[in-house]
Chains A and B, each alone.
Chain A
Amino acid sequence: MPDADIDIAVENEKDYTGSKIGMWLFLFTEMLLFGGMFLLYSVYRSIHPQDFHNGASELSIMIGTVNTIILITSSLTMAISISATQKGSRNLSTIFLALTIILGLLFLANKCFEWGDKFHHGIYPNSAELLKDSSGKVLFYGLYFVMTGLHGLHVLVGVILLSVMLILVINGKNNRKDYIKLENSGLYWHFVDIIWIFIFPLFYLIT
């Protein structure tokens, strides 16, 4: 019964290309979401250059650089984990995926530390200390908290997503023949890395 075989084959066939395109379409919407914020940042920066200059010099380049290195490295471990799955080595994939999650948590811990330090100095959205400052400075810190906060939220979502993927890799649901979920999660993780690649120079470096 060749026809029946074909029917079963069609039923079982997953549309991997469609799946990947769907993920990219989602990433485009994310790009425009963050793009709008980068636009706000650039416009307000062009209106208040001195305040943004002063604001940026108050952020710790050290913490920013460490977090950049952490995220870049987590992108590496993520990519290696996918390659390992493609090659069929589940253990290696598991280890590197776990490493990616740990690095993501480390990034968030650093972020908490950094925010906590700012809170400690009385700088948080709408704080009395901040409102005493010029309007440009208020805008700078407003954008800083919203953009790094939204980015941090994305890292948190990524960590949760990758934890689910870790389970799927361990129990073999993600395997050499079918790893699209892991691959799409990887795309999301790398995208979050790219957002940070722009946040880092804009908030920490350009003074």
Chain B
Amino acid sequence: MYMRQKDGHIVSYGTYIAVWFGLLVFTILTVAVAGINIRVISVIAPLLIAAIKTLLVLSFFMHLKYEDGNLKMMLSGAVVILAIIIGFTFLDISFR
């Protein structure tokens, strides 16, 4: 009884298959969008789609949706640090 892993939220197979289907649709969409030859769309759209796909994987496959606030806060901390590194580097190279 004491050995039981308590925090296990069981996600149904159906939910996983739905998420997988969503990921497939976004993959096809991103390949389709890549054909469009407008500079802004062909750069921003694939990155936006990648971010959405990441959110899907994080929330459902990695169970973040079912975790408490601590993990989410820690992850946001790491993401913010990465964003600062990337943002400040670009501030640097674009104003040289």
Contacts and interface: CB of A to CB of B under 8 A. Distances in A.
Contacts of A116: none
A69 B2 contact: no
B47 A193 contact: no
Nearest to B54: A194
Given A35-B85, A80-B16, A190-B62, A205 B5 contact: no
A75 B57 contact: yes
Given A14-B3, A16-B6, A187-B62, A42 B16 contact: no
Contacts of B60: 79
B77 to A, nearest CB: 8
A178 interface: yes
B10 to A, nearest CB: 5
A73 B34 CA distance: 22
B10 A201 contact: no
Contacts of A171: none
Interface residues of A, number: 53
Given A16-B7, A187-B62, A205 B78 contact: no
A173 interface: no
A202 B43 CA distance: 9
A46 B53 CA distance: 25
B48 to A, nearest CB: 10
A72 interface: yes
A148 interface: no
Interface string A90-104: 000000000000000
A65 B34 CA distance: 12
B16 A76 contact: yes
20 contacts: A13-B2, A17-B7, A35-B82, A46-B90, A61-B31, A72-B24, A72-B27, A76-B19, A76-B20, A79-B61, A83-B13, A83-B16, A179-B8, A186-B61, A193-B57, A198-B50, A202-B46, A205-B30, A206-B42, A207-B34
Interface of A: 9, 12-14, 16-17, 20-21, 24-25, 28, 31-32, 35-36, 38-39, 42-43, 46-47, 61, 65, 68-69, 72-73, 75-76, 78-80, 83, 86-87, 177-180, 186-187, 190-191, 193-194, 197-198, 200-202, 205-207
